[in-house]
Structure 1
Amino acid sequence: MSATRRQILSRTGASVAGIAFSGAFSELFAGSAAASTGAGYGPLVPDPAGLLDLPAGFRYKVLSREGDPLRSGEGRVPSNHDGMGAFAGRRGRVHLVRNHENRVTGKIGVPTVEGLTYDPAAKGGCTALELDGRGNVLGERVAIAGTAVNCAGGPTPWGTWLTCEETEDKAGTNGYTKDHGFIFEVDGADPRRTGAVPLTAMGRFQHEAIAVDPKSGIVYETEDAFQHPFGLFYRFLPEKPLGGHGSLRAGGALEAMRVPEVPDLSVIQETGASFGGVEWVPVPDPQAAQTPIRLQDFGPKGITHAQKLEGCYWGGRAVYFVSSFARAKDGSGATHFGQVWKYEPHRRRLTLVVVFGPSSDIQLPGESPDNICLAPGGGLMVSEDGDGAQHVYGLSRKGELYPVARGAQNIGTPEAPEWGEFAGVTFSPDGQTMYVNCYAPGTTFAVTGPWC
């Protein structure tokens, strides 16, 4: 049985915690060129500017902040910076596509732009930054507008971003003029190539993130549903797999995962627990015209649910996805502080590879993993979305947890400090720069240093 982070910290008081993952943790690094075996980069150094604390030897650059003018002249940088992808451009340039998780009320919405706007009443969407080979911002513009609650998403093998709406609101709700709850494809280099077209066949639900199998073209999707019964894990079988720009508009089949005799993933607590014979069940109504998908009739065997299904990525021959937490008081079968699951399509097998534990100190990471990615050297980088201080933290191949960055922008009061969550952690194509967003106040950072 894996020790919780609280147990380990109470015994050691350490800022880097070695957690026993029953041997399953090393599988997270399958397919990477190398795997970090050290215990991180040392303690975090307080930032005199009060923005981002990093280990010694690392430095950051602020690429963009909410409220500043967009370089395109289309308006102001929107609020609520969330999921993000980095893509190679010409002559060493990098294109960042950044989500903005805006609802109908609140902060700065994504400006509407002709030809790039789905629903003028919605304030979410994406912006795109273009960086030169030195990391300088050359341009910043609207990439898609008029979408709602753009949370996370994921890259395609052909270099576009799939941005996901984390809502099920229909036309006429909250002032929207169109149905929401879809995935949209965004080209960061030329947004007009993709426009603002919902990929309806991929389902209408509270989307979070996606990962694409680079060999089969199957797209895996997580659902971050807020109420019981919770979300499902899906796969989309495209009619034109790996077809490039716009190919996902051709449609396909949407299915949901059923793990035999496991109706709720939260009840599984042992790392290394593995389940064969995973089934994929056709979704009765992918458009959820009358009933949300998670409430639809999947037959007498039912379907497998999980609370807070969020980050999702492809590594090696498997897809990995995150359950940020589960709470019995909310209706989950058990309580946990974060899981990472691995599904191997060729084996039809699901394995629990990481269980996180709560933090005993707000200055230390260790709960509610959200966005997740593999670092170029093999380390796993996770954005934290929990209580107290917020971190980007790494996990080594040995199962050691270490902080990489800590938010220093206090959005609370001196007496009751609060920090915005991290999101959108991703690396440049050359692996030399980590890009990450602070959700609030919306800030996009580029972090350089001795990555290994």
Structure 2
Amino acid sequence: MSATRRQILARTGASAAAIAFSGAVSELFAGTAAAAVPGGHTGRAGYGPLVRDPHGLLDLPEGFSYKVLSRQGERLRSGEGAVPGNHDGMGAFAGRRGRVHLVRNHENRATGRIGVPTVPGLTYDPAAKGGCTVLELDGRNNVLGERVGVAGTAVNCAGGPTPWNTWLTCEETEDKAGSNGYAKDHGFVFEVDPADPHRTGAVPLTAMGRFQHEAVAVDPASGIVYETEDAFERPFGLFYRFLPHQPLGGTGSLRAGGALEAMRVPGVPDLSVIQETGARFEGVEWVPVPDPQAVETPIRLQDFGPKGITHAQKLEGCYWGGRAVYFVSSFARVKDGSGATHFGQVWKYEPHLRRLTLVVVFGPSTDIRLPGETPDNICLAPTGGLMVCEDGDGAQHVYGLSRKGEVYPVARGAQNIGTPEEPEWGEFAGVTFSPDGRTMYVNCYSPGTTFAVTGPWR
């Protein structure tokens, strides 16, 4: 389209915006319905201009407020150590008596300053500093408890919830034992029970593959797990599916193993070259991964036969909606080795039809102060909208997307981690909603801060 999202938002004072990118936006909400939330109102999409926070933490629309649940460096309520940094992917789960369990990833590398504390029974590799922490909240978002969910993992980026109410946390690394001081191989998925982390422990789900994991989405009907790979070097990542031997059976189902396959789109070795929204590919193939453990060769470099395999740069967010799985390519750049440049795509795969469709293409950058390209973490809000975390240059936002294709800002980070002369803001990550739809939880990656946002959601 002729106008980008940033151009339109600039013209409307960073309030609501008309369609600002091309694509069948309505498809992104398949299988969802807007919930009736007390305090909601009608009118244009969005909630009005963002109001500067006098405390310098989080700018929100008028009528909304936030509560800081946890900040890096504070003490965990469990007494296990300090709250780790690098807050990333997150999921919210219903607990007993109206409580909420909030599972939060920490994307710590070997050199991270504040790592996840090692806890007996919950630690995979004591040399690794990543992992998850779990907050227990009451109905008013008061923190009742905060503890380690899994430790000794590395670069825990995103992940996703399961239909049996556990969290799958993903390691975005391929480091093997002996590199960066690690004692064990990394690049796995781990399962965390938010109500009882010791029930799941620190067991790598090795059959799901060893690669630079980003996010997962589970088909609630079949139990098949779809996985994105955010590889940093060419050839870029793949889109996978894991077929568990014991689907939909709780923790044991994924530990029982299964088959890992990678997506092949016939005639399309690189998804970045597809630029036209609505482009549809029938007969998508799934090819067995030769060596899921990547003992000698990273999976994306393995031999998938004479037809090859389909790659894509920056495969990140992933979610299930209706009868399809959606996944995000945050961007692609020719200078990095992609076949074409784009500023964000959303793809839809329909398993029952073996069909892949490009449903949204984001526009180029025009104003770094306003919501822009490089979509990252993404979630369907129970109030009927789509929430996307921005991971680009300049100011960082959480922005919403209505069913009509209207883009609107929901939150803007106000914590300047740069200088007054050259300001810089930490990206948002882990946007998710409480089970009752009344609270949006979101992380600021740096400085690690977890917010609970309430207001007149509609």
CA deviation map 1:319-353 (0-9, x unaligned): 00010111110000111111111101011111111
Change (3 A) 1:37 1:24: farther
Alignment of 1:9-408 (within 5 A): 15-19=15-19, 24-34=24-34, 38-408=44-414
Q: Distance in 1 between matches of 2:142 and 2:87?
A: 19
Change (3 A) 1:20 1:445: closer
Query: Any conservation in 2 of the 1:208–1:223 contact (CA below 8 Å)?
Result: yes
Bigger mean CA offset, 218-227 vs 7-16:
7-16
- Identity value in percent: 88
Q: Distance in 1 between matches of 2:341 and 2:22?
A: 20
Counterpart of 1:17 in structure 2: which amino acid? A
Q: Distance in 1 between matches of 2:101 and 2:360?
A: 32
Counterpart of 2:46 in structure 1: which amino acid? G
Q: Distance in 2 between matches of 1:6 and 1:156?
A: 35
Change (3 A) 1:11 1:263: farther
CA deviation map 1:213-232 (0-9, x unaligned): 00000000000000000000
Task: Report the secondary structure of 1:246's partner residue.
Answer: helix
Query: Any conservation in 1 of the 2:15–2:47 contact (CA below 8 Å)?
Result: no
Q: Distance in 1 between matches of 2:434 and 2:7?
A: 36
Change (3 A) 1:173 1:322: same
Deviation at residue 292 of structure 1 after TM alignment: 0.2
CA deviation map 1:354-408 (0-9, x unaligned): 1112332222102110000001121000001000000000011111111000000
Counterpart of 1:414 in structure 2: which amino acid? P
CA deviation map 1:106-138 (0-9, x unaligned): 320000000000000000000000001111000
Task: Report the secondary structure of 2:242's partner residue.
Answer: strand
Deviation at residue 2 of structure 1 after TM alignment: 7.2
Q: Distance in 1 between matches of 2:342 and 2:354?
A: 25
CA deviation map 1:78-106 (0-9, x unaligned): 00000000000000000000000000113
Deviation at residue 16 of structure 1 after TM alignment: 3.5
TM-score, normalised relative to structure 1: 0.97
Counterpart of 1:30 in structure 2: which amino acid? A
Change (3 A) 1:31 1:74: same
Task: Report the secondary structure of 2:28's partner residue.
Answer: helix
Task: Report the secondary structure of 2:232's partner residue.
Answer: coil
Deviation at residue 411 of structure 1 after TM alignment: 0.2
Q: Distance in 2 between matches of 1:277 and 1:91?
A: 47
Q: Distance in 2 between matches of 1:448 and 1:5?
A: 26
Bigger mean CA offset, 224-233 vs 262-271:
262-271
1:429 matched residue in structure 2: 435
Q: Distance in 2 between matches of 1:361 and 1:158?
A: 42
Q: Distance in 2 between matches of 1:216 and 1:132?
A: 33
Query: Any conservation in 1 of the 2:70–2:450 contact (CA below 8 Å)?
Result: yes
Deviation at residue 6 of structure 1 after TM alignment: 5.2
Task: Report the secondary structure of 2:251's partner residue.
Answer: coil
Q: Distance in 1 between matches of 2:44 and 2:323?
A: 25
Q: Distance in 2 between matches of 1:284 and 1:411?
A: 44
2:38 matched residue in structure 1: none
Task: Report the secondary structure of 1:18's partner residue.
Answer: coil
Q: Distance in 1 between matches of 2:6 and 2:269?
A: 28
Change (3 A) 1:9 1:44: closer
2:451 paired with 1:445: yes
Q: Distance in 1 between matches of 2:65 and 2:456?
A: 10
Q: Distance in 1 between matches of 2:133 and 2:2?
A: 41
Change (3 A) 1:14 1:73: closer
RMSD: 1.5
Deviation at residue 304 of structure 1 after TM alignment: 0.5
Q: Distance in 2 between matches of 1:345 and 1:139?
A: 40
Deviation at residue 189 of structure 1 after TM alignment: 0.9
Deviation at residue 3 of structure 1 after TM alignment: 4.8
Query: Any conservation in 2 of the 1:359–1:365 contact (CA below 8 Å)?
Result: no
Change (3 A) 1:11 1:62: closer
Q: Distance in 2 between matches of 1:2 and 1:438?
A: 32
Query: Any conservation in 1 of the 2:22–2:361 contact (CA below 8 Å)?
Result: no
Query: Any conservation in 2 of the 1:2–1:19 contact (CA below 8 Å)?
Result: no
Structure 1: runs of 5+ lacking an equivalent: none
Q: Distance in 1 between matches of 2:177 and 2:43?
A: 51
